[in-house]
Structure 1
Amino acid sequence: MTDTLLPESDAGNTSDAVHEDRLWCDNGWTARVIKNEDDDGWAVEMIKDGEAEPALVGPWTMGRDKKNPKPLDIGAFNTLVKTASEVLRRHEQQLHAQLHKRLTVESGDGSVEVTLDIVPDEDDPYALLTAFDALGEQLAQVKVAPNFKLSRAGAASWVENGFRRPG
């Protein structure tokens, strides 16, 4: 086990910390150096506490003997945490973009913002189609199928038809 001091900001999270050459557990993350199944090299996987699957798997550097992996250290671990966190953040942003659509259409009463929020419930998925006026006040909301396609023409038609349930 390597005795490396963590930055002071992480000092409160060291009770369950593990700092070994091929395994680091700290600050809500686990870095594990594993044999790369695709070739003779090594890989590192980053797993966020509570998650079953790694957030990041990537190649890992060989050590000086060209057989064994380079040991993990605090600098490498911190870089891996930052990279894996960015991967998770991008994934969350992509999921949010898939589940939440927003566009603005013009009506006789001014601009109307129309949103579609998909609720991916396992038993009963659905989406909410909602209209807001220029001041952000909700004008209408209807429940639609989760595969409802929000388009500018469809939103304008919904507004023009007095917010009657589409389709």
Structure 2
Amino acid sequence: MHDTDDTLPEHESSAIHEPRLWRDKGWTARVIKNEDGDGWAVEMIRDGSAEPALVGPWTMGRNKVDPKPLDASAHQTLVKTAAEVIRRHEQQLHAQLNKQCNIDSESGALTVRLVVTPDEFEPYGTLTAVDSFGEVVATVKVPPDFRLTRERAARWAADGFGRVV
């Protein structure tokens, strides 16, 4: 019985293990010359991405001229680091697009949430008031640059959850 590439998962069938190019497990590490001409760098690109998730300095080899060759251990470390960079970026973006605060209103405690939808042509925000049972009390569309504060949320509730200006 002989194995063919047809029996391997897609990411393993396209694996490359070269000193300056290592593609495996959904990631490509590429050792490149530093743009300033001094030393080497490594870029990590997730399969399907056009841009690197991580670009960082790379170690010189023993001759102090050529880069240290990539290997499985280095690739795995770079994958973990690049995945962490992506995770932090996603968390930061989520925090920028999703805000909330708690207020007390005439109808009780409310959580007011702002969710910004970053549409390329018409971005917008949605302001939603939710009661302590998770029921939506009110929802209104707001500009994408709306700043949610406790005071604005309380004023919105006090004004009967009408249009926010």
Deviation at 1:51, TM superposition (A): 1.1
Show the counterpart of 1:49: 47
What TM-score does the superposition give when structure 1 sets the normalisation length?
Answer: 0.91
Q: Which moved more, 1:36-45 or 1:153-162?
A: 36-45
The ranges of structure 1 where at least 4 consecutive aligned residues each deviate by more than 4 angstroms after the TM superposition are: none
1:27 partner letter? K
Alignment-mate amino acid for residue 128 of structure 2: T
SS at match of 2:119: coil
Quote how far apart the aligned CAs of 1:38 are.
2.4
Q: 1:134 deviation in Å?
A: 0.5
Alignment of 1:108-119 (within 5 A): 108-119=106-117
Please give the residue correspondences for 1:128-139 in structure 2 after superposition, counting only pairs within 5 Å: 128-139=126-137
**Residue of structure 1 in register with 2:31 after alignment:** 33
**Other structure's SS at 2:91 match:** helix
Match of 2:155 among 149, 154, 157: 157
Partner of 1:85: 83
| AA aligned opposite 1:55 | A
Which stretch shifts more, 43-52 or 11-20?
A: 11-20
CA displacement 1:32-62 (0-9 Å, x = unmatched): 0000122421100001111111110111111
SS class of match (1:93): helix
Structure 1 distance, partners of 2:91, 2:116, is 15
Post-superposition offset of 1:148: 0.9
Question: How much identity, in percent, do the aligned residues show?
Answer: 62
**Letter paired with 1:51:** S
- The one-character-per-residue Cα deviations of 1:106-162 (angstroms, maximum 9, x if unpaired) are 112221000000011112111100000011111110111111111110000001111
2-side partners of 1:157 and 1:116: how far apart? 15
Normalising to structure 2: TM-score of the pair? 0.92
Q: Distance in 2 between matches of 1:85 and 1:121?
A: 25
Aligned amino acid, residue 97 of structure 2: L
Q: What amino acid does structure 2 have at the position aligned with 1:70?
A: K
Match of 2:144 among 130, 143, 146: 146
* Alpha-carbon distance in 1 for matches of 2:38, 2:111: 55
Equivalent residues, number: 157
